[in-house]
Amino acid sequence: MNERQIAELRRADKQARLLGTRHPICRVCGISDRRVRFERHHVVARFAGRRLCEATVILCRRCHDRVSDMQKDLPVLDPSINPALAVRINRARGEAQLLALVAEQRIADADELLAIALAERLQPEADQ
Amino acid sequence: MRVPFSGEQDPIHLPIHLRCFATLEGGEARKAPQGRRKKVGPSEVALTFDTETTTDAAQRLRILFYQLRVRGELDEEGAAYDPDALSQREVVTLKRYCAERGLPPPITVDVFRQQVFLEKAYSCGAEIIGLNLAFDLARIAIDASPARVTSWRRKMRGAFTLKLSEESRWPKLQVKHLNSRAAIYEFTAPGRQFASRSDRRREQLPPTQRGYFTDVRTLAGAVLGGSHSLASLTATLKTPTQKLRTDEHGGPLTFGYLDYARADVQATWECFEALCERYRSYGLSTPHYELFSEASLGKATLEAMGVRPWLSGNPSPDPQLLGKIMGSYFGGRTEVRWRKAIRRVVHTDFTSMYPTVCVLQGLWRFITADGFTTRDSTEEARAFLAAIGTADLQRRETWRQLTTLVRVRPDHDLFPVRAPYGGEHHATIGLNYLTYDGQLWFTMADCIVAKILSGKAPEVLESITFEPGPVQRGLKPLKLFGRHEIDPRRDDLFRRLIRLRIDEKERAKTLDGAEAAIVRGICDALKTTANSSSYGIFVQVNVATEDRGVATRVHGPDGETFTTRSRKIETPGPFFHPLLATLITGAARLMLGLAEHRAATEGLDWAFCDTDSLALTKPDDMSDADFETRAQRVVDWFAPLNPYGLPDSILKVEDANFSHVDPSCRVPLYCLAISSKRYVFFNLDEDGRPIIRKGSAHGLGHLIAPYGEHDPAPGIPEPVALEEGRDGLERWQHDLWFKIVEAELAGRLEHLQFDYHPALRGPAVSRYSATGPELLRWLKTWNEGKAYAQQVKPFGFLLSLHVKRKKRGKAGEAHPIAPHDTNLKRAVRGAFDRVTGSAVEPTLLQTYQEALEHYQRSPEGKFLNAQAFDRGRTERRHVLATDVELIGKEADRWEESFFLGAGVDPTISYGRDPASMLAALAELRRAAEEFGDAPVAEAVGLSRATVAKVRQGGSVSASLRAGAISARIDLLQDQRTKADQDAARMFFDLRELVVAHGGIRPAARKLGRDASNLQRLLRRLATAISKADAKAVGEV
């Protein structure tokens, strides 16, 4: 092993410990390239400044930034409400945001595939 | 033939010990702050290394070889050395060796530790592989200390912390010894931030890297079963690299020795690969680095089938019910019937006893069920017990009705009784007649044994029948070895495993060469899996020792619950299911009871029994042929109970009954048993000399062999046909049994001297490993002022010795130990008292001859006619239980711990309910007021001061048992009454004499006594009588 390989293995090991797997996949865009940085996204936003639920999903950094940004737009809950209910509310909202992002991503994927398909269909005509 | 209780026998008053269920007061320990995260497994990197050390006490590292592999491919190989432990010439030899073998130049151990172990292996999450890894890790460390652990890392209590770097940014390593084959290894959290500030802000915090360690010996124990050395492993697994032999340990470095050391690393890796390959073929999902024993394999099998442990489905079980269940739990039955008498025998054992009784009772239904239900079945149990006979037990369906616990008030009933018989240091279990003025729980199987062996069924006060709950959801089929599908919803795992093993064994007979070896490997694996998943895991309790007592809630069998403080904390294992454990061992005892009953029916007796085996003995007036026929009838009786769809009996005639030359030929087998676990089987040659076939090493295992294979005792023939593997005897143990048998044949067993080899005149030495800080502390004086490299280090060896019995007064309570040395004579010269640190004269040390002088007299306190010099047939005792003492997990290998004198009580005793303690104090107070402090103190075994303190209303810290105190005070009362009666008789006799002779003086002359003394005696007797009369009047 040379220095570069060792450094790469160290990063991979640190990432594996953080993510709980040595084979991470982004749950939104589906990327699994080991050079991509993956992170754990807390599905349930904080309530009254406290982290009440540790439920996480693995996302690539790009998707994590996007969903975290969306999380910032969530309306702030009244700190006097029941914390257990607050967790359920934030979980539902968090999951909805993720699903929205997945939907957005899937539409983008579909558009991309459609563009490829169209390009492939037009190619033979152009050749002729 | 039933053997009813003989009421003539004097009962022995003993407190009986019962298991209980104990939990931490206030629930489980606090969880780690980060919560538990799934381990991700090691990276693609693996570091294998092996150290070679000096042979002196310090066992200091000299050289090591290592291999760094990436995805299994060798990436780097090299050698490292300790420059202070090698001469310049040796360093040059090592450098030349590396150059000639194409290895990089050797590095120092400091460089290895930093650049290979920490920077490559640790940082990259590598798997660290070795054989006896704990020993090797302690060699490369720079310092060691007892581990400091937080409450949520209780599992590492009693561990060593090994320092690997002077820089705090690198972790330390904690190593906790579990048993002779396994240890837990974990890196500590290093003193530096692993996450950047932005990551911390984004809560991207990786958990601490605890590391992945695989000791090949642990893995082999789990996958293959038993204990293995590298030599036996390479031979078993037929690895390309076999373990080389060398006699050069500690000598100057040579190319031959370096080849040996280097080959060890390669052999270790190949064994690791072969074991992983074999484990993968099982189709289980538990990673190999999480296997600690065969039990881990059992758990992994159940997990792979989606079986949810009973406790995870019932996180808060009824502790009172668990108290009852644990109270009925007893281990296997081991007894001696014919002691110190050579008997012609047929040695039999049951096929896979625990899996078999699991199948017969249908316990798989409980394992795969979502909990269990209970119902009161008192009337049903009474009727069942009244009606049952041995013929019913020949029907398999009867065994499914045994999932019942029964509450009884034992009254001369034959039950397993756990008690400290004969003042032993440890409670043992014996099937004895029990009387107790309280109520106890036993399994229905135990009640049946009582009925069939004594003819008297216990009176059922209450009975609980257990039935499995609904089948768990999420069960899934398992494909073992990629071939055999086992569906937990349809198949009984144990039946399938044992049947598969039988079939594969048959298949192996039709194959040869490599194919046969593979199939035999599968057979072994099936056996290991069946045994490991059918019993031990259900009664697994992990014990952690705290520095101080912790509040513990104790649940006893009669529903009592109290809080006490205990330093030992018991935590149930993941598959803890005590109901299954008690039903399994109960049914196994019933099997043995049936075998004993059938033997008696056939007019036979038995020499000894041990859990699943029984040696049937021939009566003196029976012919050999008749004996064999009757023994075969006993064996055949069990054929209908075979649950594996085969016509064979589950009771088998052991291989030792056949000739060691021609295994198809039956030869007369003899047995000489001394106590429960000390026995030997032998044949007689044409000259009437014994040929040892199988022997036990019980009570010998802790001693280092005084001589080896190449230095045999004169006049003792070479051992033949010793059982292979774990049951095999070392040469000196074989010779010892040979001499015992020879002496018994010549009728001079009691006069046997163990002086047949000069080595037996040397000091008896036991070798131990310093597996915990408490043991290493013994060498504190020796280690003081020395650098770590020169100290005796964790997992290094130490030698334990004993002072001669005759010299004990002179040497006081000396506990001699010595640092390890391959030269035992030199080691003994360095012996010192581990408490005071002062030197112990070698002449004071016990020799092997002295240590063994009572081996053939080992008493069996649990039976009558089994004292040191007793011989012949032992008889069951009548135990009058004075009280119940609640205990926790029973200690393993307690005899060896006792010999070592570890100073730590291996048993867990919770004593008794505080209410019982108060009753004991009240009883003691009353007795002291009546009889005076001194006689009471003597009777109950307390000091006079303590009794006086109690009489004045104080308390004591000693564990008092109300029942025991009552019994002893009753005894005192009886003695007093007898003394009063004697005094009265003497008084009236003397008075008659005085009257007959016309006065005191003539009577005194007649008696040859002084007249004034006689007068004083008469006065004293009269006073005693009047006091007794006054007391009697008072009582009326």
pLDDT tens track for B613-654 = 999 999 999 999 999 999 999 999 999 999 999 999 999 999
Residue in A with minimal Cα distance to B36? A20
pLDDT digits (tens, 9 = 90+) for B974-1021: 777 788 888 888 888 888 888 888 888 888 888 888 888 888 888 888
> Strand, helix or coil at B308?
coil
Residue in A with minimal Cα distance to B120? A6
Mean pLDDT of the region B527-553:
86
Angstrom distance (rounded) from CA B202 to CA B182: 39
Mean pLDDT, chain B, as a whole number?
87
Angstrom distance (rounded) from CA B271 to CA B279: 12
What are the chain B neighbours of A42 within 8 Å (beta carbons)? 203
Residues B211/B289, Cβ–Cβ less than 8 Å: no
pLDDT bracket for residue B2 (50, 70, 90): very low
The predicted pLDDT at position B1031 comes to 63
- A113/B908: higher pLDDT: A113
Residues B791/B60, Cβ–Cβ less than 8 Å: no
What are the chain B neighbours of A14 within 8 Å (beta carbons)? 194, 206
Angstrom distance (rounded) from CA B205 to CA B194: 8
Angstrom distance (rounded) from CA B457 to CA B875: 20
Structure-block tokens of residue B242: 């076999």
Residue in B with minimal Cα distance to A40? B204
Q: State the DSSP string of B739-750.
A: HHHHHHHTT-GG
The mean-pLDDT minimum among B158-162, B324-328, B589-593, B1021-1025 falls in B1021-1025
Mean pLDDT of the region B402-429:
88
Can you say how many angstroms the Cα of residue B478 is from the centroid of all Cα atoms in its chain? 32
pLDDT bracket for residue B568 (50, 70, 90): confident
Mean pLDDT of the region B857-862:
88
* Burial state string for A23-62 with b = 16 or more CB within 10 A and e = fewer than 16: ebbbbbbeeeeeeeebbbbbbbbebeeeeebeeebbbbee
Q: Closest partner residue to B75 among A1, A20, A54, by Cβ?
A: A1
The predicted pLDDT at position B827 comes to 83
- Count the Cβ atoms, other than its own, within 10 Å of residue B516: 14
B193 has pLDDT over 80:
no
Is B124–A16 a contact, with Cβ atoms under 8 angstroms apart? no
Is B43–A51 a contact, with Cβ atoms under 8 angstroms apart? no
B725 has pLDDT over 50:
no
Residues B436/B419, Cβ–Cβ less than 8 Å: no
Structure-block tokens of residue B145: 């200390």
Nearest to B856 by CA among B710, B746, B741, B945: B741
φ/ψ region of B105 (left if φ > 0, alpha if ψ in -120 to 50, else beta) reads beta
* Burial state string for B918-944 with b = 16 or more CB within 10 A and e = fewer than 16: ebbbebbbebbeebebebbbebbebee
DSSP single-letter state for residue B471:
B
Mean pLDDT of the region B150-162:
81
The predicted pLDDT at position B1020 comes to 85
pLDDT bracket for residue A115 (50, 70, 90): very high
pLDDT bracket for residue A18 (50, 70, 90): confident
Is A1–B206 a contact, with Cβ atoms under 8 angstroms apart? no
B15 has pLDDT over 90:
no
Backbone angles phi, psi at B609, to 5 degrees: -135, 150
pLDDT bracket for residue A125 (50, 70, 90): low
Percent of chain A past pLDDT 90, that is, above it, reads: 44
Is B203–A51 a contact, with Cβ atoms under 8 angstroms apart? yes
Q: Closest partner residue to A39 among B70, B75, B202, by Cβ?
A: B202
Residues B275/B223, Cβ–Cβ less than 8 Å: yes
The mean-pLDDT minimum among B391-395, B424-428, B826-830 falls in B424-428
Is B194–A14 a contact, with Cβ atoms under 8 angstroms apart? yes
Helix B933-940 to helix B914-931 angle (10° resolution) is: 140
The predicted pLDDT at position B542 comes to 85
Angstrom distance (rounded) from CA A105 to CA B258: 61
- Residue B634: HSE in the Cβ half-sphere, 13 Å Cα cutoff: 34
Is B40–A20 a contact, with Cβ atoms under 8 angstroms apart? yes
- Which amino acid appears at position A18 of this protein? L
> Strand, helix or coil at B833?
strand
B1036 has pLDDT over 50:
no
Strands B878-887 and B12-19: parallel
Residue in B with minimal Cα distance to A8? B124
pLDDT bracket for residue B726 (50, 70, 90): very low
Helices (H), B338-377: 353-361, 364-367
- Contacting residues for B143 by C-beta, under 8 A, at least 6 apart: B162, B163, B788
Interface test with chain A among B38, B116, B123, B124, by most A beta carbons within 10 Å:
B124
Nearest to B156 by CA among B738, B545, B445: B545
pLDDT digits (tens, 9 = 90+) for B93-104: 999 999 999 999
Angstrom distance (rounded) from CA B501 to CA B85: 52
Angstrom distance (rounded) from CA B416 to CA B879: 11
Nearest to B141 by CA among B871, B806, B791: B791
- Contacting residues for B492 by C-beta, under 8 A, at least 6 apart: B359, B362, B364
A85 to chain B, closest Cα gap in Å: 23
pLDDT bracket for residue B211 (50, 70, 90): very high
pLDDT bracket for residue B407 (50, 70, 90): very high
Q: Closest partner residue to B45 among A9, A17, A39, by Cβ?
A: A9
- Which amino acid appears at position B413 of this protein? D
The predicted pLDDT at position B151 comes to 64
Structure-block tokens of residue B569: 């904390």
Is A54–B68 a contact, with Cβ atoms under 8 angstroms apart? no
- B529/B33: higher pLDDT: B529
- B383/B942: higher pLDDT: B383
Q: How far is CA B907 from CA A35, B539, B887, in A?
A: 55, 16, 8
Structure-block tokens of residue A43: 């599905």
Structure-block tokens of residue B602: 């056939």
- Residue A61: HSE in the Cβ half-sphere, 13 Å Cα cutoff: 10
- Count the Cβ atoms, other than its own, within 10 Å of residue A116: 10
Chain A window 14-73: which residues touch B at a Cβ cutoff of 8 Å? Answer: 14-22, 39-40, 42, 51, 54
Q: Closest partner residue to B41 among A1, A15, A22, by Cβ?
A: A22
Q: State the DSSP string of B119-130.
A: IIIITTT-EEEE
Is B70–A1 a contact, with Cβ atoms under 8 angstroms apart? yes
Residues B235/A45, Cβ–Cβ less than 8 Å: no
pLDDT bracket for residue B288 (50, 70, 90): very high
What are the chain A neighbours of B45 within 8 Å (beta carbons)? 1, 9
A126 has pLDDT over 80:
no
The predicted pLDDT at position B649 comes to 96
The mean-pLDDT minimum among A44-53, A57-66, B958-967, B971-980 falls in B958-967
Q: Closest partner residue to B207 among A6, A17, A42, by Cβ?
A: A17
The mean-pLDDT minimum among A8-12, B49-53, B989-993 falls in B989-993
Is A9–B205 a contact, with Cβ atoms under 8 angstroms apart? no
A14, A15, A21, A24 alpha-carbon torsion, rounded to 10°: -160
Which segments of B173-298 are extended strands (E)?
Answer: 173-179, 182-187, 212-215
* Burial state string for B118-133 with b = 16 or more CB within 10 A and e = fewer than 16: bebbbbbbbbbbbbbb
Helix B353-361 to helix B578-601 angle (10° resolution) is: 100
A18 to chain B, closest Cα gap in Å: 4
Q: Closest partner residue to A17 among B35, B40, B119, by Cβ?
A: B40
The strand pairing partners of B256, in sequence order, are none
B118 to chain A, closest Cα gap in Å: 11
- B325/B990: higher pLDDT: B325
Angstrom distance (rounded) from CA B898 to CA B901: 5
Angstrom distance (rounded) from CA B384 to CA B444: 10
A1 to chain B, closest Cα gap in Å: 7
pLDDT digits (tens, 9 = 90+) for B955-964: 665 555 555 6
Interface test with chain B among A2, A3, A17, A57, by most B beta carbons within 10 Å:
A17
